[in-house]
A = this chain, B = another copy of it.
Amino acid sequence: MRGHGQGRGTVGELGEFGLIRELTSRLTTTPAVRVGPGDDAAVLSAPDRRVVASTDVLIEGRHFRRDWSTAYDVGRKSAAQNLADIAAMGAVPTALLLGLVVPADLLVTWPAELMDGLRDECQVAGAAVVGGDVVRGDAITLAITALGDMQGHEPVTRAGARPGDVVAVTGWLGWSAAGHAVLARGFRSPRAFVEAHRRPEPPYQAGPAAAGLGATSMTDVSDGLLADLGHVAEAGKVRIDIRTAALDVPGQMADIGKAVGVDPLQWVLTGGEDHAIVATFPPHVKLPARWRVVGEVQAPSAAAQVTVDGEPWRGAAGWDHFGG
């Protein structure tokens, strides 16, 4: 019989404490971690005297599929989603906590590789997994809480956009949605888009950098550019216009669009899971090369709060997680 340390067998066979040992044995730490996993709570440095916190829940079948993504990629992606929320406040991610629901008959390799993915994505962002809880249940469910430090910046909320500000994006737009369209039709390529769907690459450093550059509002693109800018427009009581000519639609994305009969602009404007960062800046701010100006903030009007080339967008703007 092989040792459980190899991750053999089911989580039911391994038991709660065995599983926790297996999962925590995979973790790495950072200097910010004062007390790591295994006690009543973790203790972390918060040098700025302000801590940033965000929680997301992901359920198998709804937010990820085991036949489309490895456990490792689910870990990378779900960590990325939360760490991007921290960056989008202008903060530096420091830690992640995991609440995990697993069926008893799940092989230990799955949560073990999930944890590897969470750990590695944390390392990309400069953070560490510091704690969590594992319970038995029918549906694999991840509840992830990310923490961060403001490092002297003021939090950049969704409110604060002013007429005349430019709207700028950094990161990827529509790549995950295009990859999803490929996978949904049973294909595995083009690889770059499938990979983008499986493992987004949020521009973590751009969040604190934008705060330092004087961003007036900021959010991560999780529900789609138009939907998330809708929150910015609503919170700031402004109108936002996006110029499609300024958006980047890569040739290969256009090819996928042709192949599956979808306007790729739909992916760029309404695809969410790349976790790009969108922010508004005063017009005089000189933006680093990785930011792309895609629109401008206008005075509020009776028309739609977010427009595309001056008109309301006729596609589906984001989605309601409870609808459909």
Chain A residues at the B interface, C-beta cutoff of 8 Å: 11-12, 14-17, 19, 34-35, 38-59, 62-63, 85-86, 88-89, 91, 95, 97-101, 104, 130-139, 141, 143-148, 150, 155, 157-158, 218-220, 320-323
Q: Are B49 and A42 in contact (CB under 8 A)?
A: no
Q: Are A35 and B89 in contact (CB under 8 A)?
A: yes
Known A-B contacts A135-B321, A136-B322; the reply to A39 vs B99 at CB < 8 A is no
Q: Closest B residue to A19 by CB, please name it.
A: B322
Q: Are B35 and A42 in contact (CB under 8 A)?
A: no
- Can you give 19 contacting A-B residue pairs, CB < 8 Å? A14-B322, A35-B157, A38-B158, A39-B157, A40-B218, A41-B54, A41-B148, A43-B91, A43-B150, A44-B50, A44-B53, A55-B132, A58-B135, A99-B143, A135-B321, A138-B139, A141-B143, A143-B145, A147-B147
Give the CA-CA distance A142 to B269 in the complex, in Å: 33
Q: Are A97 and B45 in contact (CB under 8 A)?
A: no
Contact residues in B for A52 (Cβ distance below 8 Å):
41-44
Q: Which of B34, B91, B320 contacts A50 (CB 8 A)?
A: B34
Contact residues in B for A144 (Cβ distance below 8 Å):
99
Q: Closest B residue to A136 by CB, please name it.
A: B322
Q: Which of B45, B55, B219 contacts A49 (CB 8 A)?
A: B45
Known A-B contacts A12-B322, A15-B320, A322-B136; the reply to A131 vs B41 at CB < 8 A is no
Contact residues in B for A16 (Cβ distance below 8 Å):
320-323
Q: Which of B11, B85, B99, B135 contacts A99 (CB 8 A)?
A: B99
